[in-house]
Amino acid sequence: MKYDNQRVSIVTPAYKAAAFVGQTIESVLAQDYQDWEMHIVDDQSPDDTAAVVAQHAARDPRVRLLRQERNGGAAMARNASLQAASGRYIAFLDSDDLWLPGKLSRQLAFMKETGAAFSFTAFRRISQDGATVGRLINVPPRLGYSQLLKNTAIATSTVIVDRNVAGELRMTRTYYDDLVMWLELMKRGVTAHGLDVDLMRYRVVAQSISRSKSNSARQVWNTYRNVEKLNPLAAAWYFAHYAGRGWLKYRRF
pLDDT (tens digit per residue) in 58-69: 999 999 999 999
Residue 207, pLDDT score: 61
Residue 253 lies inside a defined structural domain of this protein: no
Residue 161 lies inside a defined structural domain of this protein: yes
Beta bridge partners of 194: 120
List the domain range (segments joined by +) for residue 22.
8-206
Residue 215, pLDDT score: 83
Beta bridge partners of 10: 38, 91
Residue 234 lies inside a defined structural domain of this protein: no
CATH code of the domain covering residue 32: 3.90.550.10
Residue 67, pLDDT score: 97
- CA distance linking residue 70 with residue 43, whole number of Å: 7
Residue 175 lies inside a defined structural domain of this protein: yes
pLDDT (tens digit per residue) in 161-208: 999 999 999 999 998 999 999 999 999 999 999 999 999 999 998 765
Residue 213 lies inside a defined structural domain of this protein: no
Residue 236 lies inside a defined structural domain of this protein: no
- CA distance linking residue 108 with residue 104, whole number of Å: 6
Contacts of 232 (CB under 8 A, 6+ apart): 225
- CA distance linking residue 22 with residue 140, whole number of Å: 31
Tally of structural domains, the chain: 1
Residue 136 lies inside a defined structural domain of this protein: yes
Please tell me what DSSP assigns to residue 100.
P
Low-confidence ranges of the chain (pLDDT < 50): 209-210
Beta bridge partners of 192: 118, 143
Residue 88, pLDDT score: 98
Residue 219 lies inside a defined structural domain of this protein: no
pTM score over 0.85? yes
